Amino acid sequence: MSRLLILYTGGTIGMRPSPAGYVPGDGFAERLATQLAAHGGQALPAYRLVEMTPAIDSANLEPETWNRLVEVLARHWADHDGVVILHGTDTLAYTASALSFMLGALDKPVVLTGAQIPLGQPRSDAPGNLALAMQSAAHPAAPREVCLAFHDRLLRGNRARKVDSLALAAFDSPNAPWLGRAGIELQLETASALPAGRPDFKPAAFESGRVALLHCHPGLSHRLVASLLEDPELQGLVLLSYGAGNPPGLSGGLIACLERATARGMAIVNLTQCHRGSVRQGTYASGATLKDAGVIAGQDLTPEAALTKLQVLLGRGLHGAALREAMATPLRGEMTAPAAD
């Protein structure tokens, strides 16, 4: 039995250079085996490679792709001790978050990784990221949850963000401690790991246009906000507000629009635009008006986690009060639990 399943979905890690820049390359299985052998492959866990066809351009990722990934995992789950998913970095944090909510509690690790420089190129970070992901997925003390491995860091998948477009240390979890770090030894933080369980492989009924993000900024148009919130297809909104959760007033127009939307059953989640920190809607009067309008305080959720959580919960049939309650509750370690009133 193969110890690990490596699921190759596409991305920079498998590309080749061309006169026009990096492009998808063929022969990935052979290139992977060669590079792993050159980087201590005999000490790495045995694996079976499955390649998705066609490969995914992560910038063109659609939610339905997450159903394809879950279906592949379901077929191979029983035959492996852990899973490594190779994915493009642009939307890696979205997929890690989505899979955490779709799969739920796990009885083996699922570790996503990718690369900033393709496999086999000078100074490529791919071998190191691969080795960390494989060793983490095979480690007996590894967290039984969806993780993201990158640049010697093991992060909770639904807490991770791409924080740098050019550096090799491209990912971090600004509001949560790392689950592990790789130095001379691989050190895992087991105290904060989620409880193990049996995964859920049911697909979600994703529909485009049901979820949106509204980024507050000076000069935001009341007309634009009203047009967005009155869209009959829209059922969930992530609101990126200032500081501890403060929205612009728009002469009272924003709150009125939000109030009408929540009254129709829309789930609206308020997040801070700050890289670190949490929403505290009662800190300032402007933030308190959001609570009165039925807006959910998203605590320290990342935008990626909030958007995918909304999409998965809607895709599993949650609506109204049940959806709002689930969005305010930590399900897979994605947020700090709200303080009791």
Check if 34 is active-site. Answer: no
Helix/strand/coil (H/E/C) assignment for every residue in the chain: CCCEEEEECCCHHHEECCCCCCEECCCHHHHHHHHHHHCCHHHCCCEEEEECCCCCCHHHCCCHHHHHHHHHHHHHHHHCCEEEEECCCCCHHHHHHHHHHHHCCCCCCEEEECCCCCCCCCCCCHHHHHHHHHHHHHCCCCCCCEEEEECCEEEEHHHCEECCCCCCCCEECCCCCCCEEECCCEEECCCCCCCCCCCCCCCCCCCCCCEEEEECCCCCCHHHHHHHHCCCCCCEEEEEEECCCECCCHHHHHHHHHHHHHHCCCEEEEEECCCCCCCCCCCCHHHHHHHHCCCEECCCCCHHHHHHHHHHHHHCCCCHHHHHHHHCCCCCCCCCCCCCC
Residue from 12, 89, 302, 308 carrying the catalytic annotation: 12
Question: Which residues have a catalytic role annotated?
Answer: 12
